[in-house]
Structure 1
């Protein structure tokens, strides 16, 4: 089935360009070096897409490539102006306006090769896990996202309210995943199902590798060995992106988390926590302003991940500043005032969160504890969950990395990882007020909280591998190797030791149970249905046939816990229920209870006409039938055989379809 992906190279390339070119162009316009600009490209691109989407809505423009081009040009011009100002004034304030290139080097060709291999590896894992580009994701939220993509393509609108309307709502819903996928449908004509899978592949194969590569190079430094170990981990650490692509499915969350490493790199540059600031501070601040709406429109949960990681970063920056100003009484006082203001700002921000209406319901959501504290600790250490395989060799490297950086300027990275790990353990193992308070920003959901662990784990694994290599090299230096001097010199070299370390990691991972194959098999469960399918192959054939059998502009109705939620995108028609959970309305409630009376009850007939219902479907197999009582909330759409006014037009698997006849209202 992997060969089928090659027929989608055009849409895949378009998706990759949409999430990289806008940000890359804007960064290069500001004079940012290419090796940094390419790492910032996905994060900046999401910001530009968000700005373009909001502007299009405000100006009444249609969503499409022209809007994105205009948004890209606007941000590029802003960056160019700021970059020009930095270059002209850099001689006066070199610390703030001139990038420090003394320890920074352009991306070596070996690192470029490793990065490309990591991108191909990430794409392979997702492509192999999904199977075919048109495979249907059989998880709870997938129908909503696919129907939202369909609405974006039909209306040429990607506003939050447009996306939310797929489930019958009007509240804000982060639209960028659907905006990118909908753009693919508009430009290339592929189905929303294929578009969703392609964007998932681009998240894993383009956005995540580029973003994490920037963080690693900024924090770890120019070590090629550390970079190679980190990028290998970016593919094999399955808590991200695979975990979010198989659970839920959480496509928007995956989109937002994929750029968090680049955002953390920006913050590290702004706070002076990296070995060299490769971007002038004003450009860092502009990039941060552009990225913020991108995080919000991709998924706000990522913003809280950034805040959590930023806490130890701010502490580290202020501690370093205090240490530098300690000899000066005046300087010490200023730093202490700054620390006090930071604490006050943090308390005010925390209290203000209680007054955000949309956030309140999220923070109240409660997932029950799923494991004991010791089991939760094991999951965090091995970077695993009940849904995705463990990775103990990288877990060991992360622990070594935490120890290695504990007494260095990068200790904040260890602090951030421990903080995220603590939040994950609270969500997994505890049903307490503290757990709810601290993890409610992610629905108190262990899977959403486990995913960001990859952001800190990947660079920490690089630090751990470097510490392992150096310890081994030091041991070899103290214990001379017998034999010819040329051979001994090679065996003592760091390159030889590094090669052995990488070789051992590959030997343990690839043939073993934690290799790429197991990760792909975990992801494939979301498409196979894991024993509970929304749409089987025969049912898919039936729904696709409705494209020619159903009247033009006819709406499809059925119990949403059946394949009805996918019948619309498969046939090209609208559906009454675009998600399993849809807010009640007078028409929907009436039809759910009494649709079978449409030929005899004028009120039911009026609802049928108002919603333009032309097709009704029924499936004797319901999704989560033994797990959720809501599946039985549609008696009016059950046992439809023999109902007056319905004409059978097809069947497939356990599903049947009828044409809805005329009625009097």
Structure 2
């Protein structure tokens, strides 16, 4: 498959991510950027919640059910809106729901700001992902991908995508695992019939190239206002961070975290508006509150760590609201009661935040990552938007410093924005450079003490500051242009008819400024692509390349997996060591593995085969289980594992060494084999 052949898959992915949310939000009266930016978070909520509810209603989780639920919800919202307005009440709007405030930048600048900003970011991000992936059907050669690819295929096969039972993909381990991302990818595969890797790759590109820039635009519009220059700058700079949306795809691979962080800016923007700190407040509390209820569940069911990040980022917002109310009371524009009530609410919020932070923290056994650098280096990486040892992004570093200067000049109004940045910075500094201990685990254990996961959060917090810096810099171009124009005017002779009137001069200056702005934005976009992004793209290429030395499924293994569906019957179960990539027979060959994931609880019979399958010729307990489970087949993928570990699957040891009796070789590719035991045919 070529990338040109994936165009219909991209179209279907955009449909799945955008259309349901678009219908529901449109029925609610949401328009323009708010509609575009919130569509994907709302669609994710519809998909993940439908997947949870469907089993209780005895409904399959399919595209037909997903889109039907979306249409029904849109009709219900439309009916509720009609009923509400018929009673003479105002439905209300989110902030900045009108036309862009263009000032003197011109009508076309206002019209094209959002689409061109998104288009720039989308093209660059998609291009880097496509280059990094290599082929649409390549897949990450990393540990976590055994689960993620199989989870998507599991949802397609079982038509059950409930986060309550996805677990580790076995009946014995049906417990909670956030399935929001897998639900969306499974819908894409069901709708298009594409392979699991192609569906996941295309879905990942749509998340990074479309959902992320739109969400960032929404967040920035809450903080700096609904103006063309900041919004265009946001779209242009959305593709300039190495930490997101590329880092988690090149490491891990952490698909759910990646998808949840892409949703985070839009949800955080709603929180800012709900707490009354947006540049232009909503008409009432209800629009942002209802929108938050429609987007928050999807983000949490994609990955709960995004909720914990939201709790941390919201802390300065809560304090910002308290300080705002206090200052209004001191100036005679507010009430003392409001200050007291919000102070109590703030105490309750921080108490609940601490409890949530503690409850969602996994055990230390699941958080083995240790610090790897000094405090000073961590600080430099934060300021230069180049975490995890990547090359400094100098353009973003310059804009960050300028943005911090802008905040310092307007500290009373924007100090809480700096607070959000400091929350993300402290988390990354602690996890990457502080010694292991109770305090480090207390703060960062929710993210498994993993520096990569916290590095990916930095762009969400630094984006507003960088846009502050970009807008300040662009306005300086205007000042320079005005200065040059005045100098030229003074040099011209004041003769009747020789000088243009003042109105024409201003118009000419405006046109020149618009041209300069567009050129400067283009320069910013190109300059932000230097340095730090090249190593990250190379990391993507290394992680997704299928070669003779791949860590998970090398070229020989892949060639053998392509033969499995023609040899093993549809109801056959294949035994294999997940650490060698053998379990990907599920996602890549549509055959059920005995162990679909490296982890997970097993039934007694499954564990018996994992411990003794190669003893079928002489262990009387083995053949009855092989016959019952129809597990006659096994993949001998050697002893190389994706991560160094003790072998937890001893039932394949003799098979790998070649000493297991009564083994029939069905297919080979290089040194790997598909075999069948004949010991149980008697």
Contact 1:104–1:276 (CA under 8 A) maintained in structure 2: no
Which of 430, 443, 446 in structure 2 is aligned with 1:441? 446
The DSSP-based 3-state class of the residue aligned with 2:13 is: helix
CA spacing shift, 1:54–1:148, aligned 2, 3 Å: same
**Which runs of structure 2 are paired with 1:24-173 in the superposition (5 Å)?**
24-81=22-79, 83-84=81-82, 87=85, 105=101, 108-166=111-169, 169-173=173-177
How far did 1:157 drift? 0.9
Q: Is the CA contact 1:150–1:569 (under 8 Å) kept in the aligned structure 2?
A: yes
Task: Describe how 1:306-345 pairs up with structure 2 within 5 A.
Answer: 306-328=310-332, 331-345=335-349
* TM superposition shift of 1:331: 1.3
Q: Quick check: 2:580–2:642 contact (8 Å CA) kept in 1?
A: no
Query: Of 259, 270, 275, which residue of structure 1 is paired with 2:274?
Result: 270
Q: Paired residue for 1:498? A: 517
Quickly say closer, same or farther: Cα 1:53–1:568, change in 2 above 3 A: closer
Tell me the distance in 2 between the aligned counterparts of 1:654 and 1:389: 40
Partners of 1:399 and 1:277 lie apart in 2 by 28
Are the equivalent residues in 1 in contact too, given 2:20–2:70 (CA < 8 A)? yes
Question: Partners of 2:345 and 2:532 in 1: how far apart?
Answer: 47
- Within a 5 Å distance, the mapping from 1:644-655 to structure 2 comes to 644-655=661-672
Alignment match, 2:367: 365
Rounded Cα–Cα distance in structure 1 between residues aligned with 2:278 and 2:85: 21
Determine helix, strand or coil for the equivalent of 2:596.
coil
CA deviations 1:459-498 (Å, max 9, x no partner) are 3211101122334544665677765779998599644653
- Could you report, residue by residue, the CA deviation over 1:275-301 in whole angstroms, capped at 9, with x for unpaired residues? 224575323211211222212211111
Contact 2:325 2:334 in 1 (8 A): no
More moved, 486-495 vs 409-418: 486-495
Between 1:19-28 and 1:544-553, the stretch displaced more is: 544-553
Paired residues of 1:564 and 1:617 also in contact (CA < 8 A): yes
Give the counterpart of 2:293 among 279, 282, 289. Answer: 289
Contact 1:111–1:224 under 8 Å retained in 2: yes
Cα distance in 1 for partners of 2:187, 2:654 equals: 34
CA drift at 1:570:
2.2
Distance in 2 (CA, whole Å) between partners of 1:648 and 1:529 is 25
| Offset, 1:181 | 1.6
The separation in 2 between residues aligned to 1:322 and 1:391, in whole angstroms, is 39
Cα pair 2:215 2:266 within 8 Å, conserved: yes
Closer, same or farther: CA 217–166 of 1 in aligned 2, 3 Å: same
Residue matched to 2:676: 659
Aligned to 1:395: 397
1:5 corresponding residue in structure 2: 3
Q: Residue 245 of structure 1 contacts residue 523 of structure 1 at CA under 8 Å; is this kept in 2?
A: yes
Partner of 2:200: 196
The offset of 1:304, in angstroms, is 1.0
Which residue does 2:555 correspond to in 1?
537
Q: Secondary structure at the match of 1:622?
A: coil
Residue 627 of structure 2 aligns with which residue? 609
Structure 1 residue 204: Cα displacement: 1.0
- How big is each residue's C-alpha offset from its partner over 1:424-450, in whole Å with a ceiling of 9 and x where there is no partner? 111111123222111122112111111
Q: What secondary structure is seen at the aligned counterpart in 1 of 2:664? A: strand
**Secondary structure in 2 aligned to 1:410?**
helix
1:136 positional shift? 2.2
Secondary structure, counterpart of 2:373 in structure 1: coil
Moved more, 46-55 or 583-592: 583-592
| Inter-partner Cα distance in structure 2 for 1:610 and 1:234 | 54
Please, which of 376, 385, 405 is the counterpart of residue 383 of structure 1? 385
Is the 2:311–2:353 Cα contact (8 Å) retained in structure 1?
A: no
Question: Which deviates further from its counterpart, 71-80 or 183-192?
Answer: 71-80
1:163-184 C-alpha deviation (Å, 9 max, x unpaired): 3242662220011211112222
1:563 corresponds in structure 2 to: 581
Q: In the superposition, relative to structure 1, how do residues 452 and 84 fare at CA in structure 2: closer, same or farther (>3 Å)?
A: farther
Which digits, 9 at most, give the CA deviation of each residue in 1:43-98, with x for residues without a partner? 1111111221122122110001232123323432453355446656787x89x778
Structure 1, unaligned runs of 5 or more: none
2:105 corresponds in structure 1 to none
Comparing 564-573 and 360-369, the one that deviates more: 360-369
Distance 1:98 1:226 in 2: 19
Shift of residue 158, structure 1, vs aligned partner: 0.6
Query: What corresponds to 1:460 in structure 2?
Result: 465
Q: What do you get for the CA RMSD once the two structures are aligned? A: 3.1
The match for 1:218 among 217, 222, 237 is 222
Q: Which position in structure 2 is the counterpart of 1:583?
A: 601
Q: Relative to 1, partners in 2 of residues 1:101 and 1:658: Cα closer, same or farther, differing over 3 Å? A: closer
TM-aligned CA deviation for residue 364 of structure 1? 6.7
Give the deviation of 1:205 after TM superposition: 1.8
What runs of 5+ residues in structure 2 fail to find an aligned partner? 103-109, 493-499
Shift of the 75–390 alpha-carbon distance from structure 1 to 2, 3 Å rule, reads farther
Q: What's the TM-score once normalised by structure 2's chain length?
A: 0.88
Q: How far off is 1:547 after superposition?
A: 0.9
Greater shift, 276-285 or 430-439, is seen at 276-285
- Preserved contact between residue 223 and residue 278 of structure 2 (Cα < 8 Å): yes
**Counterparts in 2 of 1:89 and 1:236: CA distance versus 1, 3 Å:** farther
